[in-house]
Amino acid sequence: MSELRRSDNQQASTVFEGRPVRAIIDRSAFGHNINIARQLAPNSEVLVVIKADAYGHGLLEMAEAAGPKSMLAVATAEEAQRLIDGGIRNTIWVLEGPFSESCLALSVQHSIVWVLHSFWQFDLFKKHNLSDKVDICLKFDTGMHRLGFSVEAVGEALLALAQLPNLRLEACMSHFSGSDWPDSEAVSRQIQCFDTIIKTHSLNHVPQSLSNSGGVLFYDQAHRDWVRPGIMLYGGMPHENQRAQDCDLRPVMRFESAVMSLKHVRVGDSVGYGATWTAEKDSIIAIVAGGYGDGYPRYAPNGTPVVVAGQIASLAGRVSMDMLAIDVTGLDPINIGDSVELWGKYVSVDQVAALSGTISYDLLTGVTARVPKIYT
């Protein structure tokens, strides 16, 4: 948890202008984190990953914040189409490649790099018969066993590529299954496997990409020509028990709300559905606008830290769809309208995720559509 100063997070009690739940998105923090990735991998180009609505932060807004010279990566052709329709001119990598022949029309409109992982995708290009050159990246399965051509199939994939002269091989990539921590034997094996593929098939002249956020942070030997950080750009860490500030990463999203009700609860009384929290003494409970219908995890346990009016409080009882309760007993007086940080500057999203048995990726992408995003 970051150092807390009451004056930084306190606002005067106020009459609500609307439901106070909102996600404050700090574009300067996003730019700072991109620069940290560049500093960590100074000999690599940075591919800015903005898939899944930029990890819940807003696809178009984060594409613009990345700057006109950054190459961008999304998962799907639909995400690429949204960027194109939104006026984004950066080169876009589509990490899952094309799903149908109709996807390939994007290459006529825009600079696209299609990541190919399966033979059926070559068939799409055969059917479409594009007249212009199309950029592609070949993905190799070096141990993740999710997407990518197996070691045994690489030769056949290169043969299929050679039969399609309109395809231009821009890069070769793989994806790590265990780079969340340093010194992973699994990562070492995958790097060795990838390098063997490159050497065996004389692909040394082709740019390479291996590193996700964990690769950028912990595996210098995997940086290669392109790194493609994701969660670290948003101020989260590959593993929920790590601290982003240890790597000088800044939170991009501040998920906040306000106190909407105050309750005096007697010793022995319970709060919320299922009576999962019972007062051990006479207590004051603040009800906060915001619940799992907004993206705060229902499975966050009692005691999860929440910041209210610059003070640390704790979750009390089961999170509801639209509200949650926090124990403010013993704090300086709390008032209706006092500001609440669910995660962001003082309580990290990684911390909330760890306590909730999940990861920050899940929480950030789970902020729902009814939560307004405000960009600073």
The residue extents of the domains of the chain are: 6-24+251-375, 27-241
Pairing of strands 311-315, 323-327: antiparallel
Q: What is the pLDDT of residue 129?
A: 74
Q: What is the pLDDT of residue 245?
A: 87
C-alpha to C-alpha distances, 181 to 208, 211, 216, 217, 352, nearest whole angstrom: 22, 13, 11, 9, 19
Per-residue pLDDT tens digits for 306-348 = 999 999 999 999 999 999 999 999 999 999 999 999 999 999 9
Q: Is residue 57 over pLDDT 80?
A: yes
Structural contact between residues 367 and 54, judged by C-beta atoms closer than 8 angstroms = no
Q: What is the pLDDT of residue 3?
A: 44
Structural contact between residues 95 and 71, judged by C-beta atoms closer than 8 angstroms = no
Nearest alpha-carbon partner for 11 in 335, 371, 233: 335
* Fold match, 6-24+251-375 / 27-241: no
Please say whether the dihedral angle defined by the alpha carbons of residues 325, 366, 359 and 348, taken in this order, is positive or negative. negative
The count of other CB atoms within 10 Å of the CB of residue 12 is: 9
Exposure of 130 by Cβ count < 10 A (0-12 exposed, 13-18 middle, 19+ buried)?
middle
Q: What is the pLDDT of residue 10?
A: 43
Catalytic annotation on 273? yes
Q: Is residue 355 over pLDDT 90?
A: yes
Q: Is residue 13 over pLDDT 90?
A: no
Q: What is the pLDDT of residue 15?
A: 65
Reported CATH class of domain 6-24+251-375: mainly beta
Out of 263, 273, 281, 299, pick the active-site residue.
273
Q: Is residue 12 over pLDDT 50?
A: no
Per-residue pLDDT tens digits for 158-200 = 999 999 999 999 999 999 999 999 999 999 999 999 999 999 9
Out of 51, 55, 219, 346, pick the active-site residue.
51
The mean pLDDT of 56-60, rounded to a whole number, is 98
3-state helix, strand, coil in the chain (%, to 5): 30, 25, 45
CATH 3.20.20.10 for the 27-241 domain, yes or no: yes
Nearest alpha-carbon partner for 36 in 330, 260, 258, 234: 234
Per-residue pLDDT tens digits for 275-316 = 999 999 999 999 999 999 999 999 999 999 999 999 999 999
Candidate from 9-23, 51-65, 102-116 with smallest mean pLDDT = 9-23
